[in-house]
Structure 1
Amino acid sequence: MTDRYAVHGTQGEFQPGSNDLVLANKLGIQSVEDMDDLELELLQRLYEEVLVKHLPNRVLTAEDLKTWHRRWLGNVFEWAGQERSVNMGKDGFMFAASAQIPRLLADFERSCLARWTPCHDMDTDALVDAIAITHVEFILIHPFREGNGRLSRLLADVMAVQSGRLPLDYSTWNTDRPAYYQAIHQGLQMEYAPMKWLVAQALSGAAA
């Protein structure tokens, strides 16, 4: 698959028999479709747990993100909930070097999570800013080996629900992937306007 992550390092192991398309896993799954279906089912369970049953209506931490990741994929991958130890890129774009992740996550916790969460009493503009910047910075760090995009959406949804709104409607993001990727890339220059536009679309779509 051309959009799979390029991985460099000893932990870039794939499941035998998967033609290097499925990461090595506890369940011996070799099919991309089977793995996608399982990850989606487990993600739905995580959403139910985090957004419905036990919404964390408090300041979020990097440890929360690790816990969510471990709850989601802990029965599938040995490294679930652990910081990435391999360097990763996608379509020629490199995410943060793995050696920098502990420092970057600490910075992210301080500059984004501690600054904005819980997102109580935020007006729409303030919430858009908070979600957009948090999303971009999390994706640029890419702290986990797999599932960063989906976990970042859960984080955005938690922030929206903390503010009293509905989870975001990501249809615009899904239909115009190039615009989404460009918005992430522009975050390297701390230019967040494109992502703010996408977040505003997702919030208005959820409210419609």
Structure 2
Amino acid sequence: MTQPAPEPTPIERWNRLLTEPGGNVLRNKLGLTDADRLRAAEYRIRAMRQGELQRGEVDIPRTSDLPHLQAIHQHLFQDVYEWAGQTRDVDLVKDGQPFVEHGWAPQWIENTGSKMRGVDWPNISREDFVRTAATAYAELNLAHPFREGNGASTKLFLQQMTEGAPYRIDYDRVEKNAWNQASMDSRVQSLQTRTVQPGQLVQVFDQIVVDREQPAAAAVDPELAKAIALQNSTYQNLGTHRSGPTAEQSAPRPQTVSLAKAPEREV
């Protein structure tokens, strides 16, 4: 009698996503095996797809749940990764802090979405909007449901979830390093508490939440300004643009995948 094949280990599952076992380049539809070229190409394509979503050219149901977030991720990264829109099946650690276990991340997102669906957005005060949005982002960031592209997907997701409010989130008003530090500080030291610490993110959101009719600000971060300019980019010269934010570099550990310390590149 044939024995069933053993379940793959976390590292085996992780290596299946890479161009080579133990490497740091994700397998991609573009056939790129160089990290810099992949980073540049993904950045340009994602900026174009992001522009389509922000201009309303793609209809994604505003359900404020996991399928909603997955649809955003799938659209942003459909040209680059076969697994676009699929949640991760490995555990991740970054800067020594774990994200939510992969098996529990979908429920974590559902819990956040449920709370957001219960908000009276048209009548919310600015103070409550700031705290609610900051806490939701902290929770979604801790869930980190995708292997790549969490920041870009979550920012758009949060913008769409709050469209009914008299305020909007203008991410271009915050410098990248300040955003990254606040995001990192919002994560819990131990997942046993199942809570986030959004204190610094609340301060950041207080800077970037504006009246919905207020004109968009010029990006304070050059890389954010570049992303805006790239929103109407075509697929030309995908492998030649070498500037842009730094990608997360990853290396497996015995039971989790560790995202090595590097600036977040999602805009």
Fold match by TM threshold 0.5? yes
If the length of structure 1 is used for normalisation, what is the TM-score? 0.79
Paired residue type of 2:141: I
- Number of the residue aligned with 1:5: none
Residue 161 of structure 1, CA deviation:
5.0
Higher relative contact order structure (alpha carbons within 8 Å, sequence separation ≥ 6)? 2
Q: Secondary structure at the match of 2:171?
A: coil
Paired residue type of 2:26: L
Paired residue type of 1:123: S
Larger Rg: 1 or 2? 2
- Number of the residue aligned with 1:201: 207
Select the residue among 119, 122, 142 that pairs with 1:120.
122
Paired residue type of 2:93: G
If the length of structure 2 is used for normalisation, what is the TM-score? 0.63
Paired residue type of 2:209: L
Cα displacement string for residues 92-143 of structure 1 (whole angstroms, at most 9, x for unaligned residues): 111111111232232222123x2238x4343321221221011011011111
Select the residue among 14, 37, 41 that pairs with 1:38.
41
| Counterparts of 1:174 and 1:74, CA distance in 2 | 25
Unpaired runs of at least 5, structure 2: 1-9, 218-267
The yes-or-no answer on 1:26 pairing with 2:29 is yes
Aligned residues: 198
* Structure number with higher helix proportion: 1
- Number of the residue aligned with 1:168: 170
Unpaired runs of at least 5, structure 1: 1-7
Matches within 5 A, 1:74-153: 74-112=78-116, 114-116=117-119, 119-153=121-155
| Counterparts of 2:75 and 2:61, CA distance in 1 | 19
Identical pairs, percent:
22
Q: Secondary structure at the match of 1:199?
A: helix
